[in-house]
Amino acid sequence: MFERRLQEVRKYLETSGLDALLVSHLPHVRYLTGFSGSNGLSVITLRKQFFFTDKRYREQSKNEVDGFEITVTSDTLLKAARKRGVLNGRKKIGFECEYLSVSMFENLKKLFPSASFVAKRSVIETIAAVKEESEIETIKQAAAITDKVFKKALLVLEPGVRELEIAAEISYWHLRMGAEGDAFESIVASGPRGALPHGRATEKRIRKGEFVTLDFGCKYKGYNSDLTRTVAVGKPTERAKRIYRTVLEAQRKAIEAVRPGVPAQALDKVARNHIRQKGFGKYFSHSLGHGLGIEIHEPLRLSVKSKDVVKQGNVFTIEPGIYIQGFGGVRIEDDVVVRDSGCEVITHSPKELMIL
């Protein structure tokens, strides 16, 4: 598994004329090495691979990291790399410019004055965009946990309950069911606050007759799930039902259109056109979805301006929404895997309008 990933990195080094790649972003370090701790650094050269961590992770690195030359240090990881000599003679070294701090970059130049450091973007993200079957199975397990947590959240979702209490239940049950934790801060937005696509949970109490949008996910063995459901607490108005139905139809149409070779922009257009035809076009204010895996947001973008093309093995979300100030909002989100003839939906929570 890790060998294929290293081979892809080395292909990139060769085509880019690099002697080495410095990987500092922890999710990427984990993707390449298996290390799940909070302090790690990897260096990939054309023939070897090195991993650095501190003494807290001596035993953990032995158990998790395979195929790398491991260095455990009491020094900074960059100084350990210099002492180990892993970049000696490497004249052109790529680094993850989107994740490396200015201070760390300054240290790099001081510690390796003869090297030329080249800023690189989306190296690991591009490799990770097409998932191996083992990765897909892990994401499915994360999604299954989140589906179960949604059922638990419904049990406490009633008038008078604070949004923060719902968010706390989600975090609790994710951990109880075996996740490493939440994939991101859960969104619980009720009533008019549902018009905020990323409305964090607050002290607001849920009222009868309101829609409540729940957007949450978990991290499991380094991989993420992402689910959104909007439910009604008490009987909704006919207008609210029409808005909900419009979002659900748009999502289903987009899912049906997924297949390898389809431009991501076209999928966004399918959902956006349906919402526009129903008279709510100006209220769909974000992209249709995003890549999902070791990060909650990965490079594949399903948006109006996206240049991406869907590939077999991609995993991404499909999440159209309508947000109207004074009313609230509706969003429905599922995680899907692109297969050779279409897509597989891997989140299975009910999508028909639920009235609690």
> What is the CATH classification number for the domain harbouring 303?
3.90.230.10
The answer on 198 and 276 residing in a single domain is: yes
Inter-residue contact 91 to 116 (CB < 8 Å): yes
The answer on 178 and 83 residing in a single domain is: no
pTM: 0.95
Number of domains forming the structure of the chain: 2
The stretches of 102-162 forming alpha helices (DSSP H) are 102-111, 123-128, 133-156
The answer on 110 and 179 residing in a single domain is: no
Res 21: pLDDT: 97
Domain-terminating residue out of 85, 110, 128: 128
The answer on 225 and 115 residing in a single domain is: no
Weakly modelled stretches of the chain, pLDDT under 70 = none
The answer on 143 and 121 residing in a single domain is: no
Rounded mean pLDDT of the chain?
97
Res 311: pLDDT: 97
The answer on 338 and 258 residing in a single domain is: yes
Residue 322 lies in a domain: yes
CA distances from 198 to 33, 249, 332 (A): 33, 22, 13
Residue 71 lies in a domain: yes
List the domain range (segments joined by +) for residue 222. Answer: 133-345
Residue 89, number of CB atoms within 10 A of its CB: 10
Residue 94 lies in a domain: yes
Domain-terminating residue out of 128, 163, 181: 128
The answer on 247 and 113 residing in a single domain is: no
Distance between CA atoms of residues 95 and 18, nearest Å: 10
The answer on 233 and 116 residing in a single domain is: no
Q: Would you state the structure tokens that stand for residue 36, as one six-digit string?
A: 């799940």
Residue 232 lies in a domain: yes
Angle at 134 between CA 130 and CA 136, to 5 degrees: 55
Res 104: pLDDT: 92
User: How far is C-alpha 64 from the chain's CA centre?
Assistant: 22
Residue 50 lies in a domain: yes
Domain-terminating residue out of 128, 145, 169: 128
Res 242: pLDDT: 98
Residue 355 lies in a domain: no
Inter-residue contact 52 to 62 (CB < 8 Å): no
